[in-house]
A and B are shown apart, each in its own frame.
Chain A
Amino acid sequence: MAREMKGQAGLRRVPPTDGAADNAIELADVRHYFGDLLVLDGIDLSIPARSRVSFVGPSGCGKSTLLLMIAGLLKQQGGTITVGQAAEQSGRLRQCALMPQQDLLLPWRTALDNACLALENRGVSRSAARRQAQPLFEHFGLASFEQSYPSQLSGGMRQRVGFLRTLMADKAVFLLDEPFGALDAISRAAMQEWLLSAMSDVPKTIVLVTHDVEEALLLSGTLVVFSSRPARIVDVIDVKLPARENRLEAVSDPEFVALKHRALGAIR
Chain B
Amino acid sequence: MIGTPATKEDPGRAAAPPAARRRARAWGFGRKYGGAVALVLVIVVLWQAAVHLFSIPDYLLPAPTEIVSALGDWSVLGVATWVTLQEVIYGFAIALVAGVGIAVVLHASALLRRAIYPLLIGSQSVPIIVIGPILVVVLGYNILPKLIIVALICFFPIVVNTLDGLGSVSEDYILMMRTLDASRLAIFRRVEFPACLPMMFTGIRIAVTYAAIGAVVGEWAGSTNGLGYVMLEAEPNLQIARIFAVIVILTGISVVLFSLVSIIQRMVIPWAKTANSRRDST
Contact = CB atoms under 8 A, between A and B. Distances in A.
The secondary-structure label for the interface of chain B is: helix
| Interface core residue of B176, B190, B191, B272 (most chain A CB under 10 Å) | B176
Contacts of B172: 100, 102, 104
Nearest to A107: B271
Interface in B257-275: 269, 271-272
A93 interface: yes
Interface in B183-229: 183, 186, 190-191, 194
B180 A169 contact: yes
Interface string A118-148: 1011100000000000000000000000001
B175 interface: yes
Nearest to B268: A108
Interface residues of A, number: 28
Given A98-B175, A121-B186, A151-B271, A106 B180 contact: no
A257 B266 CA distance: 54
A106 B183 contact: no
Contacts of A97: 179-180
A261 to B, nearest CB: 35
B190 A98 contact: no
A45 interface: no
A98 B269 contact: no
A118 to B, nearest CB: 4
B177 to A, nearest CB: 7
B181 interface: yes
Contacts of B8: 148, 152
Given A104-B172, A106-B191, A152-B8, A73 B269 contact: no
Interface in B39-53: none
A121 B176 contact: no
B194 A94 contact: no
B179 A121 contact: no
B181 A100 contact: no
Interface residues of B, number: 20
B173 interface: yes
Contacts of A149: 271
A148 B9 CA distance: 12
A94 B176 contact: no
A102 B186 CA distance: 21
Interface string B50-81: 00000000000000000000000000000000
A152 B181 CA distance: 27
A68 B180 CA distance: 14
Contacts of A121: 177, 180-183, 186, 190
A171 B178 CA distance: 13
Interface string A68-98: 1001010000000000000000000110111
A120 B178 contact: no
Contact of A117 (B6, B177, B272): B177
Interface in B3-40: 6, 8
Contacts of B6: 154
A91 to B, nearest CB: 13
A96 B181 CA distance: 10
Contact of B178 (A93, A106, A151): A93
B194 A165 contact: no
Contacts of B269: 108
Nearest to B180: A118
B65 to A, nearest CB: 50
Given A104-B173, A152-B8, A73 B178 contact: yes
Contacts of A94: 181
Given A71-B179, A98-B179, A169-B180, A120 B190 contact: yes
Contact of A165 (B175, B180, B186, B272): B180
10 contacts: A73-B175, A96-B179, A100-B175, A108-B271, A117-B177, A121-B181, A121-B183, A154-B6, A165-B180, A171-B179
Interface of A: 68, 71, 73, 93-94, 96-98, 100, 102, 104, 106-108, 117-118, 120-122, 148-149, 151-152, 154, 165-166, 169, 171
Given A98-B179, A104-B172, 5 more contacts: A106-B191, A108-B271, A121-B186, A148-B8, A169-B180
